Chain A
Amino acid sequence: MRTIAVLWASITMASALHAQVPTTPSDSAARAKAKADSIAADSIALIRELEQMQRGNAADTTRGTQVAGPSNPRLIPDISAIGDLVADLSPDGSTQESGNRFDIREVEVAIGAAVDPYFRADFILGLSDLEGIAIEEAYLTALSLPAALQARIGRFHMPFGKQNTTHRAELQTVEYPHVIQRFFSPEGLKGSGFWVSKIFAPFGFYQELQATAVNRLGDAPDDSVTLAEPLNKRLSGLGYSARLRNYWDLSEAANLELSFSAMTGKVEQPLGIELSFGSVTANAVPARQSDLGIDFTYRWKPLERALYKSFILQGEVIHQLNADAVAPLAPLICAPAPTCPLPDFGRSLTGGYVFARYQLTRRSFFGTRFDFVQNPAASEGSTKAGSTYLQFFPSEFSKFVVSYELLKPGTGLKSVNRILLQTTFAVGPHRPHPF
């Protein structure tokens, strides 16, 4: 833990120091003189003319010619909000977590601004009936680090895989792929801790390595789950991840991203009973969980027709390795019987998806996705799903989606037909288009 604290302190100090690297006095003097020399008479005349024009405009509103002033003279942070509404018209009842047919799934409020010359702060709060107010993300980004580094401290979406880094309301589908929902959570995987990234291009194409150290892997379970000692008591109990992004321009219109992700940490495995460990009791034990992932995204968008035509093909496979920390305790759990049936916590699971989206017109898109993910019990086989989407964007700030999904949960369970309607809408400053 101290190592991480020292690392963070070093990087934040480096950020501030790097931004303040002084130039030599001779450089400064030469530059100042040259700058003064370079502002020739016509340049001064230009500035005067612009000033006059500004003064003139106050009286002459018909002229309609101005010089741009500051866009945010009061230094107010960018504040925006996104509403995410889902209607579930599935024939066999709502399939939403809330059980509602019509649901305000979440309202996301984002606030962001530069803190000072060295850092930027971003806060994203999620408001929902289920969770109340939740801190989705809140982080400080060091923007002035040397050696093409960037670092964050706070809570953020874990840089694992492609879709997990995108907020749910900004997904190109209504929900995350099933593998992300199953392995992580319906809202993706977040972590609180430290994030660092470096870009490089030794082979002539863009590469980025992202690494994190977070308080724990995944969301904490509820208070009823108890451990003999906190997961994060030792450094080995924290969550760690790494992601290597590789990007190529295949042509002016097409590009490919191929990335690899890895993550490890400890999670609670339920014992089913309460056991004594020395002076404390616990009903769960820590067990290592690791995930390996590979994802690709192919994009095609001809520049001249970029408003009307585009295509995305995306796929991701995640393999989850689970250590079984319960099995070695079987004699204690099952006593006095020497063995008893325990869940197979040590099963490794695989899941993935393939997604494609084609732009039909300037404002409408058609998408389809195929999902598969192994179920925790070997006897239950795999969950498979096929879904299609029709999206309509009245503008950059609102979206309507109609989705149909056929979900096959696994052996012995009935298939589910899901019909979802989604509306998202945003107010506030124009946010960058997701890439």
Chain B
Amino acid sequence: MNIRIIFCAGVMALTLGASSQALAQPKLRIVTSTTDLDNIAQAVGGDRVSAIHISEGYQDPHFVEAKPSFILKLRNADVFAFVGLDLEIGWMSLLIDGARNPKIRQGGSGYLDVSRVVRVIDVARGNVDRSQGDVHPQGNPHYWLDPENGRRIARLFRDKFSELDPAGASTYAANARAFEARLNAAENQWKPQLAKLKGKPVVAWHTSWRYLAQYTGINIVGFMEPKPGVPPSPSHLAGLIQTMRRTGVKVIVMEPFYDRKTADFVAARTSAKVLILPPSVGAIKGVTDYISLMQYDIRQLADAL
């Protein structure tokens, strides 16, 4: 008797378990190259997606190690969304080849080059070679630091997720609208700070701040790097110090993953301040989503200038 009861209970438990699994909505598995794309994907996908990222906000996204553990993340992904414009060129192909997942290979339904829908600046014209440094011939890849591109990324995710999960199309559309509404509201709040920043001269470490400069109106009068990706040389710094004195630069903007000793050296000779700004979500504590990232950077700049 007891055995029968246990057997029946076991069968019922298995049946219930199986049916609840069948009823549960399988989530779209999204892998993104950066935390910024991850955050926007989560905002648009909501509960219908599970999103994870490869590079952390506090590391240089170009110099990510192609760890085999990332291959495991990618092998079952439905979508791999990446910044493109050669930002991930040092590691992405190794991971995609290693993952053996046709969905995320070029031409697959989940291969999502986000750069194809955004406004790109610094697209190379004429001849390009490596004497110009670590150039990105297709354009500057740090485009997420312009909120307009944030909106475009959200719309791209909405369309891609809807294509792969038609039943969730209305949810994705609503989430994307909500994301844009939050961003619009935040932008309205930033207006006084943006007005204050317009035309203010700054120096940036790398060309990654070009989009933020375009959005905020700040004027980047020089870069710590003599050419993209090339560490500063003494002669370049000497010239830069002259430029900073001449133009009255008060701030040197840089990412947390560069060595600030050189920037401190220049700042000490120009009475400027070194401002470490997060370039991505998660780069510093408190910057937990895309809107707070933009807000933090704008506020820090406004306070410093």
Residues of B within 8 A of A141 (CB): 97
Asked if A307 is at the interface of the complex by the 8 Å CB criterion, the answer is yes
Residues of B within 8 A of A120 (CB): 97
Residues of A within 8 A of B60 (CB): 306-307
CB-based contact B59/A306 at 8 Å: yes
Asked if B230 is at the interface of the complex by the 8 Å CB criterion, the answer is yes
Residues of B within 8 A of A43 (CB): 155, 158-159
- Shortest CB-to-CB span from A229 to chain B, Å, is 39
Contact A34 to B166, CB < 8 A, known contacts A395-B230, A430-B86: yes
CB-based contact A68/B102 at 8 Å: no
Residues of B within 8 A of A299 (CB): 65
Residues of B within 8 A of A117 (CB): 107
A362 to B130 Cα, complex, angstroms: 19
Residues of B within 8 A of A55 (CB): none
- Shortest CB-to-CB span from A250 to chain B, Å, is 11
8 Å CB interface, A36-74 against B: 37-40, 42-43, 46, 50, 53, 61, 64-69, 71
Residues of B within 8 A of A274 (CB): none
Residues of B within 8 A of A33 (CB): 166
CB-based contact A304/B58 at 8 Å: yes
Asked if A247 is at the interface of the complex by the 8 Å CB criterion, the answer is yes
CB-based contact B120/A38 at 8 Å: no
A141 to B94 Cα, complex, angstroms: 13
Interface range for B? 35 or more
Interface range for A? 35 or more
Contact A38 to B173, CB < 8 A, known contacts A65-B119, A247-B67, A306-B59: yes
A299 to B66 Cα, complex, angstroms: 12
Residues of A within 8 A of B53 (CB): none
Asked if A153 is at the interface of the complex by the 8 Å CB criterion, the answer is no
Asked if A31 is at the interface of the complex by the 8 Å CB criterion, the answer is yes
A50 to B115 Cα, complex, angstroms: 12
Q: Which of B69-77, B182-190, B241-249, B287-295 contacts A (4 or more CB under 8 A)?
A: B69-77
CB-based contact B90/A363 at 8 Å: no
CB-based contact A31/B163 at 8 Å: yes
A66 to B138 Cα, complex, angstroms: 9
Asked if A232 is at the interface of the complex by the 8 Å CB criterion, the answer is no
Asked if B28 is at the interface of the complex by the 8 Å CB criterion, the answer is no
Of A33, A66, A299, A363, the most chain B CB neighbours within 10 A belong to A66
Q: Which of B19-27, B195-203, B252-260 contacts A (4 or more CB under 8 A)?
A: B252-260
CB-based contact A145/B100 at 8 Å: yes
Report the tally of A-B residue pairs with Cβ distances under 8 A. Answer: 161
CB-based contact A249/B67 at 8 Å: yes
Asked if A150 is at the interface of the complex by the 8 Å CB criterion, the answer is yes
Asked if B106 is at the interface of the complex by the 8 Å CB criterion, the answer is yes
CB-based contact A432/B120 at 8 Å: no
CB-based contact B119/A53 at 8 Å: yes
CB-based contact A303/B173 at 8 Å: no
Question: Looking across the interface, which residue of chain B has its beta carbon closest to that of A30?
Answer: B166
Residue interface bits B145-185, CB-to-A below 8 A is 1, else 0? 00000001001001100110011010011000000000000
CB-based contact A42/B56 at 8 Å: no
Residues of A within 8 A of B97 (CB): 120, 141, 143, 150
Asked if A149 is at the interface of the complex by the 8 Å CB criterion, the answer is yes
- Shortest CB-to-CB span from B54 to chain A, Å, is 11
Asked if B84 is at the interface of the complex by the 8 Å CB criterion, the answer is yes
Asked if A219 is at the interface of the complex by the 8 Å CB criterion, the answer is no
Question: Looking across the interface, which residue of chain B has its beta carbon closest to that of A50?
Answer: B117
Contact A433 to B91, CB < 8 A, known contacts A143-B97, A307-B60: yes
Residues of B within 8 A of A433 (CB): 63, 65-66, 90-91
Asked if A233 is at the interface of the complex by the 8 Å CB criterion, the answer is no
Contact A304 to B257, CB < 8 A, known contacts A397-B130, A432-B94: yes
Contact A150 to B100, CB < 8 A, known contacts A38-B163, A40-B173: yes
- Shortest CB-to-CB span from B99 to chain A, Å, is 8
Question: Looking across the interface, which residue of chain A has its beta carbon closest to that of B166?
Answer: A34
CB-based contact B138/A38 at 8 Å: no
A50 to B119 Cα, complex, angstroms: 8
- Shortest CB-to-CB span from B167 to chain A, Å, is 8
Residues of A within 8 A of B173 (CB): 38, 40
CB-based contact A435/B100 at 8 Å: no
- Shortest CB-to-CB span from B13 to chain A, Å, is 25
Question: Looking across the interface, which residue of chain A has its beta carbon closest to that of B65?
Answer: A435
Asked if B299 is at the interface of the complex by the 8 Å CB criterion, the answer is no
- Shortest CB-to-CB span from B225 to chain A, Å, is 12
Residues of B within 8 A of A69 (CB): 138
CB-based contact A46/B117 at 8 Å: yes
Asked if A137 is at the interface of the complex by the 8 Å CB criterion, the answer is no
Residues of A within 8 A of B67 (CB): 247, 249, 255, 435
CB-based contact A199/B159 at 8 Å: no
CB-based contact A68/B85 at 8 Å: yes
Question: Looking across the interface, which residue of chain B has its beta carbon closest to that of A302?
Answer: B59
Contact A206 to B68, CB < 8 A, known contacts A46-B117, A362-B231, A395-B130: yes
Residues of B within 8 A of A19 (CB): 102
Asked if B47 is at the interface of the complex by the 8 Å CB criterion, the answer is no
CB-based contact B68/A245 at 8 Å: yes
Asked if A148 is at the interface of the complex by the 8 Å CB criterion, the answer is yes
Asked if A18 is at the interface of the complex by the 8 Å CB criterion, the answer is yes
Of B106, B166, B173, the most chain A CB neighbours within 10 A belong to B166
Residues of B within 8 A of A65 (CB): 119-121
Asked if B46 is at the interface of the complex by the 8 Å CB criterion, the answer is no
Question: Looking across the interface, which residue of chain B has its beta carbon closest to that of A65?
Answer: B119
CB-based contact A247/B68 at 8 Å: yes
CB-based contact A432/B90 at 8 Å: yes
A430 to B119 Cα, complex, angstroms: 24
Closest 10 CB pairs of A and B: A34-B166, A38-B162, A206-B68, A303-B59, A247-B68, A38-B169, A433-B90, A435-B66, A66-B123, A35-B163
A-B contact pairs, 24 of them (CB 8 A): A19-B102, A38-B158, A38-B169, A38-B173, A40-B173, A61-B125, A64-B123, A66-B120, A66-B121, A67-B119, A68-B138, A69-B138, A143-B97, A143-B105, A144-B102, A149-B100, A199-B72, A199-B98, A201-B72, A247-B67, A301-B65, A396-B134, A432-B90, A433-B91
Which A positions have Cβ atoms within 8 angstroms of B? 18-19, 30-31, 33-35, 37-40, 42-43, 46, 50, 53, 61, 64-69, 71, 114, 117, 120, 141, 143-145, 148-150, 199, 201, 205-206, 208, 245, 247, 249, 252, 255, 257, 299, 301, 303-308, 362-363, 395-397, 427, 429-430, 432-433, 435
Which B positions have Cβ atoms within 8 angstroms of A? 56, 58-60, 63, 65-69, 71-72, 75, 84-86, 89-94, 97-98, 100, 102, 105-107, 115-123, 125, 130, 134, 137-139, 152, 155, 158-159, 162-163, 166-167, 169, 172-173, 229-231, 256-259
